Every structure is written in C-alpha cells, then in structure tokens.
Amino acid sequence: MSDNDQSGEKTEQPTPKRLDDARKEGNIPRSRELSTAAVYGACVLAMMAFSGMLARGGLEWMKQALQPDPGLLQQPAELFGHAGQLLLAGMLVIAPLLAIGLLASFVSPVLMGGLQWTNKSLVPKLDRMSPIAGLKRLYGGEAVAEFAKSLLRVLFVGAAGTLVMVSSMPLLRGLLHKPLETAIADGLQFALRLMLATAVAFFLLAALDAPYQRWNWLRKLKMTREELKREHKESEGSPEVKGRIRQMQMQMSQRRMMQDVPTADVIVVNPTHYAVALKYQGDNMNAPVVVARGVDEVALRIRALAQQHRVAVVSAPPLARALYREGQLGKEIPVRLYSAVAQVLSYVYQLNDWRQGPAPVLPALQVQEFDPEARA
C-alpha cells in the first residue's frame, strides 16, 4: 500500500484538542438507552417512594373532579376556569415526579461526556438532508447497530415482563374475588413491580449501549496521519513562523544590547572578530557584568558605538574569546576570569587618570595568560 493510501486511513487516536473541538461543536457521545433508563428508573423509584403521597393527592383530585360544585351548572362561564384549576391541581400532585424525572435527564449527559452547551448544535446541518447520507444511515453500520439494539430492547423488556407476569399470576386471578379497594391496592403493587422489572431491563441495555456509543464516538473522531501532522504543526507553529519569531527576538535583544553599550566601562575585543562589553559598579555588583557581546558584524557595531561614546576598547584576544564563550548577557563573568578582567579594568582606570590628570607615565596593559578554550 502506498504512503498516500496509508495517510488517508483514520488509524490515529484523536488528540485532546480534537476531542475538545468536537465537544465545543456539540459533538459528544450520546446514549438514548442510558437516558431512557435514567429517567424511567428514577420515576419508578420515585413512585415507589412517594406512593402514599401520590395516592392521597390523586384521591383528593378525583373527588374534586368528580364532585363539582352544583352552582357551576348555573354559571357555564365559570366551567373553563374550573377546568384550569383542576389541571393545575393535577400538575401539583405529580410535580415531585416530574421534578425527579427532569433531574434524572441530566444523568446521561454527565456520565457520557459532561454538560456542554453550544449554539452550534442548534444550527441545521445540510448534509443530513442529502439522500445519499440518508441511505447510508438506513443501510449502513449505524442502522445495523440500531436494529440490534431494538431486538435486545424487545428481548430484555419482554423477558422482564414475562417473569413478573408468570410470578404474579395467582395474585392476578385472586383480584376478581377481592373487595374493590383491596384489588386496586394489589393491582397498583403489581404495576409497580412490573415497572421496576422493566426499569432493570432498561439499565441492562444501557450498560451495553453506553460503552458502545463512546467507542463509536472515538472511532468517528480518529485522525489520519496527515491530520495529526497538520494539527501538530498548527499547535507548535510552522518552522517558518518560529524562525521569524526567533529572528525578531534576536533583533530586539540586539537592540536592547546596543542601548547598554554606552554605559559599559570597557570593550574587550579580538581585535575584530569578538567584542564583549563589561560594566562594573562596586557598590551594587559582586563582579563585572556582560552588557553586550557579539562576533563579526555585531562586534564591529559594538566597537563603533563604543568609540562614538568614548568607551575604552582594549584588545585582549584570548580574554575576548573566553568572555564570549563563557559569559552570558546580563550575568556576571565566570569566576576563573576575575583576575584577567580585574587587570583590564585596572588598566582602563589608570588610563582614564592619565588622560585627565598629570600622570607621570602612560600605563601598560598586562593580562594574565590562560587557555581561552578551557571552561571552568
């Protein structure tokens, strides 16, 4: 297989950035079976927990609905308001059940991928209107999976209902011979057991569907090698852009470095290839600091700027090379160069005194000999 064919296959796992972008667009794993099981199961458990309260509320509502005020017959205009009051009273009776079901509807999104609100999920997608895409959904792998889930749903719910019906058959036969109130109570208990059994069946189906939906979601988000390289290039930046940024940073650093050259005490050169500017303030510095350094063209610019601002330029080739290799911009010089730099600074100070006052003899430069290639 050629490299082009391999790059077109989605063989790479999705990156965190791709997963995050998918969530922002509203593309998150969804399991309808888990949502159904959570809402239905929560409502069944709520009915079992609040059955007494629901029964009393329902009984009062039925009495109010079946025994209306006779005066309403004389005022037909009030019947509409009475119907609204009955509807509101019925909603209040089942309000706890509705609230629990509403809260349970958030269980599936939280478990599958977290709550994520985005307006992009509300935008209509034109590709869903394509007849070819519709045929793929009807006869593709997704359709086969949905058909298999439908068969499992019928199997699980049917098996749960059959087990409850078979085990409750003596109870159902005995309802015909029991008083009405007892028969109603037993019938409601049977209905709750049947709903609880079907809720268990829905949870078993959700336990199979939720991992499948997440696996299928990750499978759809897999990336080709070309997409992985493109994303890495976008996140890390292209070599051209990074090179341009480095160039701009170097230019800014050199500009700041050149601004510090006039404040230096001495420029140590070799004599044209290397140039290192040193500054020393005994009050607040432990050792001389490198304020500028460069080779070739930059070294010539440092020398020209130093001569323009009358900064002393001292030729000490081994020392200049050592300072350039071991010194860091804005940092103190290495310890092993203390003695040699001290001799250079002493010479510069004596030279300044000779120029400004009646010094008897022109000072001579003596620099300690050492290997400029060796490092401490």
Distance of alpha carbon 316 from alpha carbon 278, whole angstroms: 13
Amino acid at 218: L
CA angle at residue 36 from 16 to 201, to 5 degrees? 110
Distance of alpha carbon 295 from alpha carbon 302, whole angstroms: 9
Based on the domain organization, do 86 and 161 belong to the same domain? yes
Q: Tell whether 266 is covered by a domain.
A: yes
Q: Tell whether 251 is covered by a domain.
A: no
Based on the domain organization, do 276 and 173 belong to the same domain? no
Q: Tell whether 314 is covered by a domain.
A: yes
Based on the domain organization, do 23 and 98 belong to the same domain? yes
Based on the domain organization, do 153 and 283 belong to the same domain? no
Based on the domain organization, do 210 and 264 belong to the same domain? no
Estimate to the nearest angstrom the gap between the alpha carbon of 122 and the chain centroid: 22
Which two tokens mark 54?
Answer: 């629901």
* Domain extent for 161: 16-117+130-233
Based on the domain organization, do 215 and 273 belong to the same domain? no
Among 216, 233, 250, the domain-final residue is 233
Q: Tell whether 223 is covered by a domain.
A: yes
pLDDT in tens, the chain (376 residues): 444 444 468 888 888 888 888 887 778 888 889 999 999 999 999 888 888 888 888 888 888 887 777 776 677 777 778 788 888 888 888 888 889 989 988 888 888 876 666 665 555 655 556 666 555 666 666 778 888 888 999 999 999 999 998 988 888 888 888 887 788 788 888 888 999 999 999 999 999 998 998 898 888 888 888 888 887 777 665 566 666 767 776 777 777 778 878 888 888 888 778 888 888 887 787 888 888 888 888 888 888 888 888 888 888 888 888 888 888 888 888 888 888 888 888 877 777 776 666 655 555 565 556 555 555 4
| Structural domain count of the chain | 2
Q: Tell whether 371 is covered by a domain.
A: no
CATH number (domain holding residue 337): 3.40.1690.10
Based on the domain organization, do 142 and 183 belong to the same domain? yes
Based on the domain organization, do 24 and 162 belong to the same domain? yes
Based on the domain organization, do 143 and 290 belong to the same domain? no
Distance of alpha carbon 184 from alpha carbon 99, whole angstroms: 26
Based on the domain organization, do 269 and 158 belong to the same domain? no
Q: Tell whether 6 is covered by a domain.
A: no
Residues ≥6 apart with Cβ < 8 Å to 38? 104, 105, 107, 108, 206
Based on the domain organization, do 164 and 285 belong to the same domain? no
Q: Tell whether 305 is covered by a domain.
A: yes
Based on the domain organization, do 227 and 295 belong to the same domain? no
